[in-house]
């Protein structure tokens, strides 16, 4: 099989959706999947701005890796409304090793295509991307 580290194409739609999230705030989250046969990263699911963190966590499969971008809104100590864009590398312990390897080696190149990520997080089980972890990283 081809070397998964380099040469993983990023589908145009990924970049377009990300720009929409960043500029026009039309999505709450985007979930990306690597299609092995096409050797591409494609958009799997997009979330409405009205959807919550729980909906996002529920859309991640429990035994397959994914990349995800989440727009997190919070209020700071000085009462300002702020938002942070999180990149979550979802790599559950229960997924297959080949799966984890492909996602891990392509992650860096993919992230570089998305300009404007503020916080990066790797989660190997649901507890590592719990809401309290997100809040503490958003500071």
Partner 1 sequence: MAQLAETYACVPSTERGRGILISGDPKSNSILYCNGRSVIIRYLDRPLEVQVYGEHAYPATVARYSPNGEWIASADVSGTVRIWGTHNDFVLKKEFRVLSGRIDDLQWSPDGERIVASGEGKGKSLVRAFMWDSGTNVGEFDGHSRRVLSCAFKPTRPFRIVTCGEDFLVNFYEGPPFKFKLSHRDHSNFVNCIRFSPDGKRFISVSSDKKGILYDAKTGDKIGELSSEDGHKGSIYAVSWSPDSRKVVTVSADKSAKLWEISDDNNGTVKRTLTCPGSGGVDDMLVGCLWQNDHIVTVSLGGSIFLYSASDLDKAPLELSGHMKNINSISVLKSDPKVILSTSYDGLIVKWVQGIGYSGKLERGVNSQIKCFAAVEEEIVSSGFDNKVWRYSLHGDQCGDGDCIDIGNQPKDLSLARLSSELALVSFDTGVTLLRGTKIVSTIDLGFTVTACTIAPNGTEAIVGGQDGKLHIYSVTGDTLQEEAVLEKHRGAITVIRYSPDVSMFASADANREAVVWDCATREVKLKNMLYHTARINCLAWSPNGSMVATGSLDTCVIVYEVDKPASSRITIKGAHLGGVYGLEFIDDQTVVSSGEDACIRLWNVTPK
Q: Kindly list the residues in this chain that would bind partner 1 in the complex (CB under 8 A).
A: 54, 93-94, 125-127, 130-132
The minimum distance between CB 57 and partner 1, in angstroms, equals: 8
Which residues, 6 or more positions from 101, have their beta carbon under 8 angstroms from its beta carbon? 4
Question: Is the distance from CB of 138 to CB of 129 less than 8 angstroms?
Answer: no
The minimum distance between CB 16 and partner 1, in angstroms, equals: 32
Nearer to partner 1, 78 or 132 (CB): 132
Nearer to partner 1, 60 or 65 (CB): 60
Cα(41)–Cα(30) distance, integer angstroms? 12
The minimum distance between CB 62 and partner 1, in angstroms, equals: 9
Nearer to partner 1, 35 or 125 (CB): 125
User: Helices (H), strands (E): how many in the chain?
Assistant: 4, 6
Nearer to partner 1, 12 or 93 (CB): 93
Q: Tell me the residue length of the chain.
A: 139
Cα(72)–Cα(50) distance, integer angstroms? 12
The minimum distance between CB 7 and partner 1, in angstroms, equals: 34
Element of type H or E holding 6: none
């Amino acid at each position: 099989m081809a070397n998964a580290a380099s040469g993983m194409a990023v589908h145009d739609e990924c970049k377009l959706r990300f720009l929409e999230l960043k500029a026009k705030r039309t999505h709450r989250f985007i979930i990306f999947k690597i299609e092995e046969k096409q050797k591409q990263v494609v958009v799997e699911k997009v979330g409405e701005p009205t959807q919550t963190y729980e909906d996002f966590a529920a859309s991640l499969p429990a035994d397959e890796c994914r990349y995800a971008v989440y727009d997190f809104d919070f209020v700071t100590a000085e009462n300002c409304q702020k938002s942070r864009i999180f990149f979550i590398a979802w790599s559950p312990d229960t997924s297959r090793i080949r799966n984890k390897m492909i996602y891990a080696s392509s992650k860096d190149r993919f992230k570089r295509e998305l300009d404007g990520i503020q916080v990066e997080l790797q989660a190997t089980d649901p507890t590592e991307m719990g809401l309290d972890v997100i809040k503490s990283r958003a500071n």
